[in-house]
C-alpha cells in the first residue's frame, strides 16, 4: 500500500525533505530525527520551524538539522508539512529595540529621582551654601598624580 504523505515527492521535485529534532541533542543522547516536507527553499539548518503536533494548539517547534535529505518513498511513517519558520532574527531585533527603550526609561527615571531629591534638598538649603561644601568641589586627581603615587 502506498504512503500518500510521500506522494508529493514523486509529483513535484521542488518538495524538500527537512530533517528536524524536537529535543536537544546532548553528549549522552542524540535526539530522534523526524522528516517533514516543504516547498520553502529558505529553510536552513539551525532554523526553528513550526510543525503539526497532537498537543495544545496542534503546533510545536523543531530545530532543523538537515535539509534536502533523501526520503524513503516506501516509508510507512506519515510525513507532515512544515507550517512555517520562526522569525528569530525579527524577534531578536524587537528585543534589542525594547532593551534600548528600557535603558532610556531607566536613565530618565534616574534623572527624575535625582532632580526630585535636589529640589527637596534646596527647598531647605541655599544652593550657594551647598556650593561652599568641600564635598561639592571634589574631583578626581590628575592621572600624573595617581601614577606618581604607585
pLDDT at 150 over 70: no
Residue (of 116, 47, 59, 55) closest to 85 by Cα position: 47
- What is the secondary structure of 21-39 as a DSSP string? ESSPP-SS-PPPEEEEEE-
- Give the number of other Cβ atoms within 10 Å of residue 20's Cβ: 23
pLDDT in tens, 28-80: 999 999 999 999 999 999 999 999 999 889 999 999 999 999 999 889 999 99
Q: What's the pLDDT score for residue 149?
A: 64
Strand-pair category, 59-67 with 16-21: antiparallel
For residues 115 and 136, the model is more confident at 115
Q: What's the pLDDT score for residue 98?
A: 97
Strand-pair category, 80-81 with 48-52: unpaired
Mean of all residue pLDDT scores within the chain:
90
pLDDT bin (cut points 50, 70, 90) of residue 144 is low
C-alpha cell at 117: 531629591
Give this prediction's pTM.
Answer: 0.69
Residue ranges of domains in the chain: 4-86, 87-131
**CA 100 to CA 106: how far, in whole Å?**
10
For residues 28 and 1, the model is more confident at 28
Q: What's the pLDDT score for residue 141?
A: 75
Amino acid at each position: 500500500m502506498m504512503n500518500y504523505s510521500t506522494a508529493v515527492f514523486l509529483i513535484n521535485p521542488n518538495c524538500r525533505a527537512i530533517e528536524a529534532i524536537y529535543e536537544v541533542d546532548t553528549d549522552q543522547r542524540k535526539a530522534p530525527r523526524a522528516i517533514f516536507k516543504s516547498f520553502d527553499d529558505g529553510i536552513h539548518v539551525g532554523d526553528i520551524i513550526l510543525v503539526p503536533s497532537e498537543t495544545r494548539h496542534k503546533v510545536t517547534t523543531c530545530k532543523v538539522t538537515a535539509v534536502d535529505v533523501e526520503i524513503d518513498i516506501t516509508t510507512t511513517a506519515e510525513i507532515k508539512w512544515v507550517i512555517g519558520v520562526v522569525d528569530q532574527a525579527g524577534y531578536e531585533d524587537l528585543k534589542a529595540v525594547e532593551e534600548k527603550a528600557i535603558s532610556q526609561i531607566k536613565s530618565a527615571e534616574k534623572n527624575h529621582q535625582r532632580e526630585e531629591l535636589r529640589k527637596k534638598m534646596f527647598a531647605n538649603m541655599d544652593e550657594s551654601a551647598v556650593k561652599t561644601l568641600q564635598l561639592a568641589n571634589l574631583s578626581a586627581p590628575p592621572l600624573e598624580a595617581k601614577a606618581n603615587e604607585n
